[in-house]
């Protein structure tokens, strides 16, 4: 096969599409590269249909370690296993803008696999994979109404950057992925550090200009091929059932399917279903149509009527105004033994978010393509079947749960305290107890409140809201809905989630079911979202206005001490012997950074102080004249060696054992004896000389004295780092 290749400049890097030398048997394939990042995209479309209620599109992104020249970190498993959370998130990122570009009711099975073959470790491969998926579908012969292009945007030093590097995203204030067609934007995913709406809108405009270029390149590339069209199979509704519903169900009956709760609406819905089943019992027996066909036809009629009422009358099924947020209730401290717990309820949606605090050693290590990452803040989203009254098998977290958890996590990251100010690892879990739309945004609000209830000194509180859209493609009319509930999400055209503080946006996620959105519509949606966020924030702060000053008595205590870097080896000990002994005897966790910061995580004050004193004693430089409690560790003819500080031995010469002449060392001491000794001197080789006879009449050993403070600075004891993480006040 002749190798075809086209290229363009994308943010200062060469973006290339070609079909060789790698060739596959997929319906459509392409190898796309951005700089040294190379992704193989394969799209396979079946000629047969699969039964079900949804379009059977499956998208997978394969994140291979070999792409970055790395071997998997596990000592025992080197083969690639289940996809990482990052790979799952990229798979969702590719899926979301592609799915709406297939005709509704499509039942052909479609599989898209994007494989990272090479990663330059400078630019994230996600947008390259998305562009590759689009071009693979373009040359597959599938009924795909593309192309779709994607670009990443950054914001550093008050300038927007096309195709930023990992470093520019990390150091900047924005990490935004925008996908779209030649005509409009179709998908948005963003992490932001309190960026204004105006900057976001400018980023949208700049991104769409680049997307048009990417789409044109795909069109030019696809024009070189003549793929055989794949016959489209649609799940057409049963016309007999649709006519039966139209004959019985009037507009007035559909308008009456309203209510403040999901159950109110369901009950009215079921009453009409029962009427349909009763009237058309004969047709059901004869197999003209099924109960499922009638339910689907009724649901379609209801959705059309609901959209018409919103567009023409601005009437929502729960009676709210278009810009009205559902009632909000906050229940703090609902669980007695957790470190922080809050229920955030908006309308019927209820999220219970629990905060668990741990030491630095509890942070999660992620083995990724570019570098190993340490996560000290984790948010997990759990959506059990009872949240919607369903019966399903309990399995591990699905893609939706991983995606919603990631969104809620990104929303709070910009306001978390710095590690040097708050050493704790933070793990949040949002249990969705009940759901009628916008549960991910309830998780964001619940996370803010749960962190503040746990005493985590976040910089500013974060709130979130989901915006919806109902539009008419023929007339161009549209209505933006604030705080959408379940049915408005399913029947609407947009799910636009926005989170932020009083200073700006922290995260965005937008999915649409139509061909695209104009910048003006997005501007209106962002403005309405800000108004909604401000309202929700005010309601949240009525209950918990600021982070609590005291932490739970069940939260671990964390103490930090700065030691000289050359002393680290002494605290660790030979083969880790010393640090293991401290952790075992004191029941604590110890983490040591290369800079010499030692972090001690303890269950209570007493155990923490014991471990802290142990580390101090190991690393302190004893002064001549100090008196210590010591342990005789070795007997020699000329004296006894005494351990007077951890890992520090000194010699008590036979002449210093007592104030009288000693003939034999064993006459005075034996191994294991506890004795008081005074430091006489330290020679040039670092050897200590001790005396027992010089102790007579002196005060008790320094080691017996109670520590006066855990703050301040003492040149002999090491610096205790002050800050909110130094001491956890016990209730």
pLDDT at 642 over 70: yes
- Which comes out higher in pLDDT, residue 150 or 729? 150
User: pLDDT of 402-437, one tens digit each?
Assistant: 999 999 999 999 999 998 889 999 999 999 999 999
Average pLDDT over residues 324-350: 97
Work out whether the CA dihedral 482, 547, 358, 192 comes out positive or negative.
positive
CATH number for the domain whose boundaries are 5-222: 3.30.230.70
Question: Which of 72-81, 88-97, 259-268 ranks highest by mean pLDDT?
Answer: 88-97
Cα distances (angstroms) measured from residue 143 to each of 47, 103, 105, 227, 276: 12, 7, 12, 11, 36
Q: Burial-class residue 569 by CB neighbours within 10 Å (0-12, 13-18, 19+).
A: exposed
Q: Which of 541, 553, 547 is nearest to 502 (CA)?
A: 541
User: pLDDT of 99-110, one tens digit each?
Assistant: 999 988 888 899
Q: What are the start and end residues of each CATH 3.30.230.70 domain in the chain?
A: 5-222, 328-541
**Which residue in this structure is represented by tokens 């200009």?**
209
In this prediction the pTM is 0.85
Q: What are the start and end residues of each CATH 2.40.50.140 domain in the chain?
A: 627-704
Q: What is the DSSP string of 461-481?
A: --EEEEEEEEE-TTT--EEEE
| Residues 647, 332: Cα–Cα separation, whole Å | 48
Q: Which of 505, 290, 485, 520 is nearest to 412 (CA)?
A: 505
Neighbour-count burial for 18-32, b at 16+ CB within 10 Å, e otherwise: bbeeeebebbbbbbb
What's the DSSP call for residue 326? P
Q: Which CATH class is domain 328-541?
A: alpha beta
User: pLDDT of 565-581, one tens digit each?
Assistant: 988 988 998 899 999 99
Backbone angles phi, psi at 251, to 5 degrees: -60, -35
Number of H helices, E strands in the chain: 16, 31
Backbone angles phi, psi at 393, to 5 degrees: -70, 140
Which strands make up the sheet holding 108-118, listed edge to edge? Answer: 5-10, 13-18, 28-34, 37-49, 108-118, 57-62
Average pLDDT over residues 209-224: 97
| Residues 142, 45: Cα–Cα separation, whole Å | 7
Residues whose CB falls within 8 Å of the CB of residue 304, separated by 6 or more in sequence, listed in order: none
pLDDT at 716 over 90: no
User: Is the omega angle on the peptide bond into residue 38 within 30 degrees of 0, that is, cis?
Assistant: no
| Residues 711, 709: Cα–Cα separation, whole Å | 5
Which CATH number does the domain 557-621+716-720 belong to among 3.40.50.2300, 3.40.50.300, 3.90.180.10, 3.30.1370.10?
Answer: 3.30.1370.10
Q: What are the start and end residues of each CATH 1.10.10 domain in the chain?
A: 239-313
* pLDDT at residue number 707: 37
* pLDDT at residue number 673: 93
Least reliable range by pLDDT among 6-20, 159-173, 698-712: 698-712
* pLDDT at residue number 721: 44
Least reliable range by pLDDT among 252-266, 355-369, 707-721: 707-721
Cα distances (angstroms) measured from residue 102 to each of 55, 106, 192, 307, 552: 9, 7, 31, 22, 52
SS3 content of the chain, % helix, strand, coil (to 5): 35, 30, 35
Q: Which CATH class is domain 239-313?
A: mainly alpha
Under DSSP, is residue 700 helix (H, G, I), strand (E, B) or coil?
A: coil
pLDDT at 702 over 80: no
User: pLDDT of 457-497, one tens digit each?
Assistant: 999 999 999 999 999 988 889 999 999 999 999 899 999 99
At the fourth CATH level, which superfamily is domain 627-704?
Nucleic acid-binding proteins (2.40.50.140)
* pLDDT at residue number 604: 85
User: pLDDT of 133-191, one tens digit each?
Assistant: 999 999 999 989 989 999 999 999 999 999 999 999 999 999 999 999 999 999 999 99
Assign 371 a pLDDT band (cuts: 50, 70, 90). low
| Residues 314, 34: Cα–Cα separation, whole Å | 47
Residues whose CB falls within 8 Å of the CB of residue 58, separated by 6 or more in sequence, listed in order: 109, 110, 111, 112
Q: Which of 517, 316, 522 is nearest to 436 (CA)?
A: 316
pLDDT at 719 over 80: no
User: Is the omega angle on the peptide bond into residue 147 within 30 degrees of 0, that is, cis?
Assistant: yes
pLDDT at 3 over 80: yes
Under DSSP, is residue 137 helix (H, G, I), strand (E, B) or coil?
A: helix
Q: What are the start and end residues of each CATH 3.30.1370.10 domain in the chain?
A: 557-621+716-720
């Amino acid at each position: 096969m002749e190798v075809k290749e086209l290229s363009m400049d994308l943010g200062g890097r060469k973006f290339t599409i070609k079909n060789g030398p790698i060739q596959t048997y997929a319906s459509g394939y392409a190898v796309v590269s951005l700089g040294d990042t190379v992704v193989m995209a394969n799209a396979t479309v079946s000629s047969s249909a699969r039964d079900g209620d949804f379009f059977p599109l499956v998208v997978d992104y394969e994140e291979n370690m070999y792409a970055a020249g790395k071997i998997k970190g596990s000592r025992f498993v080197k083969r690639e296993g289940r996809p990482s959370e990052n790979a799952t998130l990229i798979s969702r990122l590719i899926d979301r803008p592609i799915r709406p570009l297939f005709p509704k009711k499509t039942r052909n099975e479609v599989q898209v696999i994007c494989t990272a073959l090479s990663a330059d470790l400078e630019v994230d491969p996600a947008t390259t994979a998305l562009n590759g998926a689009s071009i693979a579908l373009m040359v597959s012969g599938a009924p795909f109404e593309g192309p779709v292009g994607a670009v990443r945007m950054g914001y550093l030093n008050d300038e927007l950057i096309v195709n930023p590097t990992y470093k520019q995203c990390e150091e900047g204030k924005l990490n935004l992925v925008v996908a779209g067609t030649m005509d409009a934007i179709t998908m948005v995913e963003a992490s932001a550090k309190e960026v204004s709406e105006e900057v976001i809108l400018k980023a949208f405009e700049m991104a769409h200009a680049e997307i048009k270029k990417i789409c044109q390149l795909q069109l030019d590339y696809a024009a070189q091929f003549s793929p055989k069209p794949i016959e489209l199979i649609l799940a057409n509704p049963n016309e007999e059932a649709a006519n039966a519903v139209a004959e019985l169900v009037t507009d007035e009956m559909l308008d009456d399917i309203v209510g403040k709760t999901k159950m109110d609406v369901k009950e009215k819905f079921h009453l009409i279903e029962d009427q349909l089943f009763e009237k058309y019992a004969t047709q059901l027996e004869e197999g003209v149509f099924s109960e499922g066909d009638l339910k689907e036809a009724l649901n379609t009629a209801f959705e059309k009527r609901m959209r018409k009422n919103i567009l023409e009358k601005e009437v929502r099924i729960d009676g709210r105004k278009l810009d009205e947020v559902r009632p909000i209730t906050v229940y703090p401290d609902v669980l007695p033994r957790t470190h922080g717990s809050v229920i955030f309820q908006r309308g019927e949606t209820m999220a219970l978010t629990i905060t668990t605090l741990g030491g630095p050693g509890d942070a999660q290590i992620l083995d990724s393509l570019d570098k190993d990452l340490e996560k000290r803040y984790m948010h997990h989203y759990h959506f059990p079947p009872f949240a919607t009254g369903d019966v399903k098998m309990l399995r591990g977290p699905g893609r939706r749960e991983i995606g919603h958890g990631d969104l809620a996590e990104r929303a709070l990251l910009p306001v978390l305290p710095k590690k040097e100010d708050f050493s704790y690892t933070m793990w949040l879990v949002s249990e969705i107890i009940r759901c009628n739309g916008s549960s991910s945004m309830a998780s964001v609000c619940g996370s803010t409140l749960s962190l503040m209830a746990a005493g985590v000194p976040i910089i500013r509180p974060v709130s979130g809201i989901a915006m919806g859209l109902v539009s008419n493609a023929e007339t161009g009319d549209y209505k933006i809905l604030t705080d959408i509930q379940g049915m408005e999400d399913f029947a609407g055209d947009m799910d636009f989630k926005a989170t932020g503080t009083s200073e700006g946006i922290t995260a965005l996620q937008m999915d649409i079911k139509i061909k695209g959105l104009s910048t003006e519509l997005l501007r209106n949606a962002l403005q309405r979202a800000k108004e909604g966020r401000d309202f929700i924030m005010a309601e949240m702060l009525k209950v918990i206005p600021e982070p609590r000053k005291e932490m739970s008595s069940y939260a671990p205590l964390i103490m930090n001490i700065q030691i000289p870097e050359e002393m680290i080896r002494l605290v660790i000990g030979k083969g880790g012997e010393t640090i293991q002994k401290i952790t075992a005897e004191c029941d604590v966790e110890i983490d040591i950074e290369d800079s010499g910061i030692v972090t001690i995580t303890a269950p209570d004050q007493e155990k923490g102080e014991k471990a802290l004193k142990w580390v101090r004693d190991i690393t302190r430089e004893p002064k001549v004249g100090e008196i210590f409690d010591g342990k005789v560790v070795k007997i020699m003819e000329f004296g006894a060696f005494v351990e007077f500080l951890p890992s520090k031995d000194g010699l008590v010469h036979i002449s210093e054992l007592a104030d009288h002449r000693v003939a034999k060392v064993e006459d005075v001491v034996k191994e294991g004896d506890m004795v008081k000794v005074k430091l006489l001197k330290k020679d040039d080789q670092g050897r200590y000389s001790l005396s027992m006879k010089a102790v007579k009449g002196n005060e008790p050993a320094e080691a017996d004295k109670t520590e006066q403070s855990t703050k301040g600075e003492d040149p002999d004891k090491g610096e205790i780092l002050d800050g909110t993480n130094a001491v956890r006040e016990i209730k």
